[in-house]
Amino acid sequence: MRVLVTGGAGFIGSHIVTALEERGHEPVVYDIHDDPACDVRDAAAVGRALAGVDAVCHQAAMVGLGTGFADAPEYVSRNDLGTAVLLTAMADAGVRRLVLAGSMVVYGEGRYTCARHGVVRPGPRAVADLDAGRFEPRCPECGAELSPGLVAEDAPVDPRNVYATTKLAQEHLAAAWARVTDGEAVSLRYHNVYGPGMPRNTPYAGVASFFRSALARGEAPRVFEDGCQRRDFVHVRDVAAANLAALEAGSPTGALVAYNTGSGDPHTVGEMAHALAAAYGGPEPVVTGEYRLGDVRHITADSSRLRAESGWKAEVGFEDGMREFARAE
């Protein structure tokens, strides 16, 4: 299979390229950082890149929460306009198979249960609560403590920042493309991806990268809130394998199918910081109580659907993965 990988020189994309090569496929790398002419917003360039292609892995995106709402036009341009241009070119070229880099951020907060009211959806956390160190969402009905759980793909979407909104828009565009072209579209809703090749020292990098960069400078990782926020940290090689599984398994035509893509082994941000520090040899993390508006408290995945329908499963354990990542280039 000849596969165009947008963002193929980037963190996740480069691992997908390697996985494709190892399975005997032919990846075609399309990445603006590799070649300034390779912009997914350039219809002519995308059209040329699609020549002879059987499928597309669309990884190119502006990622992370960014530095404020001033980034909104750039996020929308790179993520949503770029996806629209790519899908239009795919329709023209007769390419009918797409795997999209989705994100768990489309859900907003994770799944919560109230002992009295069952499954509830707390609203965005109030600044006054965050300033006072009250980080846990409360039941919107009675104000009681909530128990976090795993989010399934049928959970309502509730994007709570610009990046999340653009990732959901990408899915809607892909769904519309699939309906019009009778194409196959899969969105892999990545959870917190980490591993070798992760970007450093950028406001758009993930928390694992921030912690490792601090350790490399001899500084203690700074853990926001109280460090108890739950995430699903999934290794980049497992994410690359999920893309390969989605490509090879195929999907129903005329619709978009979304799959959570996580390790299935949730940990807190504090646990991740301690694991990295231990693997690196210190210093120990510092819990700061700081917060970022737009961050959610707990978001962890139920990835059983992807395992059941494609045979994929995460292979890299948390401790092993963090040890490797601590010393990765």
The catalytic residue positions are 163
- Indicate the SS3 state at residue 120: strand
Q: CA-to-CA distance for 21 and 140, rounded, in angstroms?
A: 50
First to last CA, the chain: 30
Contacting residues for 86 by C-beta, under 8 A, at least 6 apart: 6, 40, 46, 56, 58
Q: Whole-angstrom Cα distance, residue 280 to residue 258?
A: 36
How far apart are alpha carbons 231 and 294 in whole angstroms?
A: 15
Rounded Cα distance between 134 and 218, Å, is: 31
Distance of CA 211 to the CA centre of its chain: 18
> How far apart, in whole angstroms, are the C-alpha atoms of residue 121 and residue 48?
45
Q: CB neighbours of 240 closer than 8 A, spacing ≥ 6?
A: 12, 15, 16, 18, 19
- Structure token pair of residue 155: 């959970």
Instruction: Give the 3-state secondary structure of residue 143.
Output: coil
Cα separation, 182 vs 58, whole angstroms: 18
Residues 98 and 186 sit within 8 Å (Cβ to Cβ): yes
